[in-house]
């Protein structure tokens, strides 16, 4: 059976005492999750607001993504199945 849904993510960016903060909110219709992220500029670096926005937004969306994966794991376990054994890693090595 086909399944199509649309979830909208709202991303809020703001400055607070020299720190760029971000809040990403998704409403699935049954659950609202909020991810948070922040970026701090080194005082010796040039002020480039776009970089702080990108870092804070990316961190907020990573937080939101972790919450969604955790929620799916709880849902899987709630159905009597075992949750994901491990999370796949993507992107550049840290």
Ramachandran category for residue 30: left, alpha or beta (phi over 0 → left; psi -120 to 50 → alpha)? alpha
Look at the pTM and tell me if it is higher than 0.75.
Answer: yes
Over residues 34-51, the pLDDT tens digits come to: 999 999 988 888 888 999
We find that the CATH architecture of domain 8-78 is 2-Layer Sandwich (3.30)
Domain boundaries, the chain: 8-78
Q: Give residue for tokens 């376990």.
A: 77
- The reported pLDDT for the residue numbered 42 is 85
Instruction: Give the position of tokens 């607070």.
Output: 16
Which tens digit of pLDDT belongs to each residue from 54-67? 999 999 999 999 99
């Amino acid at each position: 059976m086909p399944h199509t849904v649309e979830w909208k993510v709202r991303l809020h960016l703001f400055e607070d005492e020299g720190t760029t903060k971000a809040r990403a909110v998704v409403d699935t219709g049954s659950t609202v999750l909020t991810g948070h992220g922040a970026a701090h500029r080194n005082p010796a670096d040039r002020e480039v607001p776009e970089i702080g926005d990108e870092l804070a937004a990316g961190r907020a969306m990573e937080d939101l993504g972790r919450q969604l994966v955790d929620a799916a794991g709880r849902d899987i376990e709630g159905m009597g199945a075992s949750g994901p054994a491990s999370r796949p890693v993507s992107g550049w090595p840290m």
